[in-house]
């Protein structure tokens, strides 16, 4: 110890500095500590000037957030979750149009389904979201709804939000994008299922043409004027429905997109072209020649081939719209078009093209038939109640038998096999007639009349090949049943359209949200992380205490 005096008043005073003089080992340790501190400081300087990656920043942010006290952290995150749930929740009064927290929509404003140009849609999507994630109100606050409408709805969402045999009834727990308490514009209420009316009438034109020209029914005089009047009515109705739906495509294309992705209605986009081929096949002899021009077949068959490639490609490649997810009885309508195209190909003289279409249709008919019979566990559950929709099972094998007979010129063994399958399915539905009661009328019922008519035509062809009292009586019976059903539906349609004015109610099926909102909210990720961290910390504390106690005992 060295003593140095530090008192300044006396000139002869000695300055003494009282402090400990470190030994040689202590000086060395202090030097090493200073060196370590300098290295750590240099490392921190290097880390500060180093560019920060997003993942590292997110990881460090999450690790920092876990150091917040549990009480403060839970209160903060719970309040944040409540704010978000209040923003997304929706009062279920039946008058709401969606749970997006946007500005209140003006009454009578249905712009969210209006057709928007591609450039406007892209610009609106860029304006809907800023970097901070805050939505910008655009077009009266409908920005986020418009973005949701533009995106395709998953196939499983239709089964989850809708009910009924045609998936056209909204469930009580669901919200929609449009109001329920006011009437929508006519074009929005006009469904693609209206082409089913044309299917029923155009197939009746073919039936009455067969009844007036078939040698198996020559004992019953049938006037060709019936075929001519029904054909003209079907042609006029097709033009009216086609023009109306074209206007819907022009003004409300977003609604048309939703119908295309609908598991049931997507199959009805084959209907207009099938109706055109029905009219070409059932045209009166006084109007058309015996052999049609091949251009007619090319024009009507091109859209069906395009839809085949699109729909069958989705079935084959899998994904959200694979067959086991969207299979329903109306899927037969996408297969019938191939057999009707084969019949028209034989009528224009292109038998090879008819065989090609018949092979494609028969292969996919087997796939659809087996899928619907198996009811795979991975597929969406079909409605429990039976309905005339199941008559679609009859249409495909009956059309296949007629097409094979038209291509080969005789109703041979394969044509009879397909016909017998259709006849058995027909009988299996007739004996369950009680299950077809208690359902409200809708336009979709029309599409279930042409399978009955197709089976009647196949029975007439069979009676021509195997003439007998049984076959001829069966042909007349089935023809009478189908014609009676079409007549009843025609009268019901006129009454609902002109008298009761309930033919086109609000089409709730196209206004569902892409995701269910307002209920079944998943917990926030941050809150979930804190709970998981506290659970791990409690386990680690318990294990640490156990080890400490064990070491003390040792």
pLDDT tens digits, 368-400: 999 988 865 545 554 544 466 778 899 999 999
Confidence at residue 318, expressed as pLDDT on a 0 to 100 scale: 73
Question: Do the domain assignments include residue 232?
Answer: yes
Q: Which of 464, 252, 277, 242 is nearest to 354 (CA)?
A: 277
Residues in a beta bridge with 170 = 162
8 A C-beta contact, residue 123 and residue 82:
no
- The 10 Å Cβ neighbour count of residue 140 is 14
- The 10 Å Cβ neighbour count of residue 230 is 23
**Under the phi-then-psi rule, with left for phi > 0, alpha for psi from -120 to 50, and beta for the rest, what region is 412?**
beta
Q: What percent of the chain has pLDDT over 70?
A: 64
* Rounded-to-integer distance, Cα 522 and Cα 195, Å: 42
Arithmetic mean of pLDDT, 312-318: 86
Question: Highest mean pLDDT: which of 125-134, 155-164, 295-304, 540-549?
Answer: 295-304
Residue 256 CA: distances (Å) to CA of 45, 178, 180, 328: 61, 15, 20, 20
Confidence at residue 157, expressed as pLDDT on a 0 to 100 scale: 87
Confidence at residue 538, expressed as pLDDT on a 0 to 100 scale: 56
Question: Do the domain assignments include residue 342?
Answer: yes
Question: Do the domain assignments include residue 59?
Answer: no
Residue 51 scores a pLDDT above 70: no
Residue 283 domain boundaries: 186-510
Question: Which of 39 and 194 is assigned the larger pLDDT?
Answer: 194
* Secondary structure (DSSP) of 67-107: TS-HHHHHHHHHHHHHHHHHHH----SS----SS--PPPPT
Place 108 in a pLDDT band, splitting at 50, 70 and 90: low
Confidence at residue 425, expressed as pLDDT on a 0 to 100 scale: 92
Residue 122 scores a pLDDT above 60: no
Question: Which of 127 and 298 is assigned the larger pLDDT?
Answer: 298
Confidence at residue 428, expressed as pLDDT on a 0 to 100 scale: 87
Of 39-48, 305-314, 328-337, 482-491, least confident by mean pLDDT is 39-48
How wide is the angle at C-alpha 550 spanned by C-alphas 547 and 554, nearest 5°? 135
Confidence at residue 6, expressed as pLDDT on a 0 to 100 scale: 44
Confidence at residue 50, expressed as pLDDT on a 0 to 100 scale: 57
Confidence at residue 325, expressed as pLDDT on a 0 to 100 scale: 84
Question: Do the domain assignments include residue 391?
Answer: yes
Place 154 in a pLDDT band, splitting at 50, 70 and 90: confident
Q: Which of 413, 404, 292, 416 is nearest to 354 (CA)?
A: 404
Residue 135 scores a pLDDT above 50: no
Place 518 in a pLDDT band, splitting at 50, 70 and 90: low
Confidence at residue 533, expressed as pLDDT on a 0 to 100 scale: 52
Question: Do the domain assignments include residue 293?
Answer: yes
- Count Cα neighbours of 167 within 13 Å in the Cβ-side half-sphere: 28
Question: Do the domain assignments include residue 71?
Answer: no
Residue 208 scores a pLDDT above 80: yes
Confidence at residue 244, expressed as pLDDT on a 0 to 100 scale: 97
Confidence at residue 386, expressed as pLDDT on a 0 to 100 scale: 44
CATH number for the domain including 378? 1.50.10.150
Question: Do the domain assignments include residue 15?
Answer: no
| pTM (whole model) above 0.85 | no
Residue 133 scores a pLDDT above 50: no
pLDDT tens digits, 54-64: 455 444 444 44
Count: domains in the chain: 1
Question: Do the domain assignments include residue 314?
Answer: yes
pLDDT tens digits, 261-292: 999 999 999 999 999 999 999 999 888 887 88
How wide is the angle at C-alpha 282 spanned by C-alphas 479 and 330, nearest 5°? 65
């Amino acid at each position: 110890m060295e003593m140095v005096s530090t008192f300044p008043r006396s000139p002869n005073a000695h300055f003494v500095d009282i402090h400990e003089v470190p030994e040689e080992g202590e000086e060395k340790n202090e030097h090493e500590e200073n060196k370590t501190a300098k290295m750590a400081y240099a490392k921190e300087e290097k880390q500060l000037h180093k560019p920060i990656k997003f993942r590292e920043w997110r990881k460090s942010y999450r690790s920092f957030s876990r150091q917040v006290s549990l009480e403060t952290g839970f209160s903060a995150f719970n309040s944040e979750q409540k704010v978000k749930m209040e923003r997304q929740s929706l009062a279920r009064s039946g008058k709401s149009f969606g749970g997006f927290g946007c500005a209140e929509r003006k009454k009578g404003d249905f712009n969210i389904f209006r057709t928007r140009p591609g450039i406007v849609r892209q610009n609106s999507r860029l304006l809907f979201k800023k970097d901070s994630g805050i939505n910008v109100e655009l077009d009266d606050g409908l920005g986020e709804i418009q973005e949701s409408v533009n995106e395709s709805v998953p196939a499983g969402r239709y089964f989850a939000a809708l009910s009924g045999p045609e998936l056209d009834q909204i469930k009580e727990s669901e919200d929609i994008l449009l109001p329920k308490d006011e009437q929508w514009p006519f074009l929005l209420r006009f469904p693609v299922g209206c082409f089913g009316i044309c299917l029923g009438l155009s197939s009746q034109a073919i039936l009455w043409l067969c009844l007036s020209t078939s040698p198996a029914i020559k004992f019953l005089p049938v006037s060709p004027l019936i075929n001519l009047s029904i054909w003209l009515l079907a042609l006029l109705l097709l033009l009216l429905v086609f023009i109306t739906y074209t206007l819907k495509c022009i003004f409300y294309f977003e609604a048309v997109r939703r119908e295309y992705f609908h598991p049931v209605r997507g199959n009805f986009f084959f209907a207009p072209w099938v109706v055109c081929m029905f009219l070409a096949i059932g045209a009166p002899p006084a109007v058309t020649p015996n052999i049609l021009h091949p251009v007619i077949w090319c024009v009507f068959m091109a859209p069906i081939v395009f839809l085949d490639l699109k729909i069958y490609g989705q079935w084959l490649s899998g994904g959200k719209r694979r067959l086991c997810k969207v299979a329903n009885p109306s899927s037969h309508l996408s297969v019938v078009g191939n057999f009707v195209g084969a019949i028209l190909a034989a009528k224009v003289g292109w038998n090879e093209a008819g065989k090609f279409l018949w092979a494609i249709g028969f292969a996919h008919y087997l796939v659809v038939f087996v899928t619907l019979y198996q009811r795979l566990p991975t597929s969406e559950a079909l409605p429990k109640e039976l309905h005339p929709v199941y008559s679609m099972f009859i249409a495909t094998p009956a059309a296949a038998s007629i097409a094979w007979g038209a291509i080969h010129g005789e109703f041979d063994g394969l044509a009879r096999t397909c016909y017998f399958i259709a006849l058995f399915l027909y009988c299996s539905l007739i004996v369950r007639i009680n299950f077809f009661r208690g359902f409200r009328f809708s336009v979709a019922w029309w599409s279930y009349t042409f399978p009955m008519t197709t089976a009647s035509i196949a029975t007439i062809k069979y009676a021509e090949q195997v003439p007998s009292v049984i076959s001829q009586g069966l042909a007349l019976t089935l023809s009478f049943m189908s014609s009676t059903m079409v007549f009843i539906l025609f009268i019901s349609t006129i009454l609902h359209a002109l008298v009761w004015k309930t033919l086109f109610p609000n089409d709730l099926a196209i206004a569902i949200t892409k995701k269910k909102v307002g209920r079944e909210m998943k917990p926030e990720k941050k809150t979930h992380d804190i709970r998981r961290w506290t659970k791990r910390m409690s386990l680690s504390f318990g294990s640490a205490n156990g080890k400490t106690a064990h070491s003390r005992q040792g």
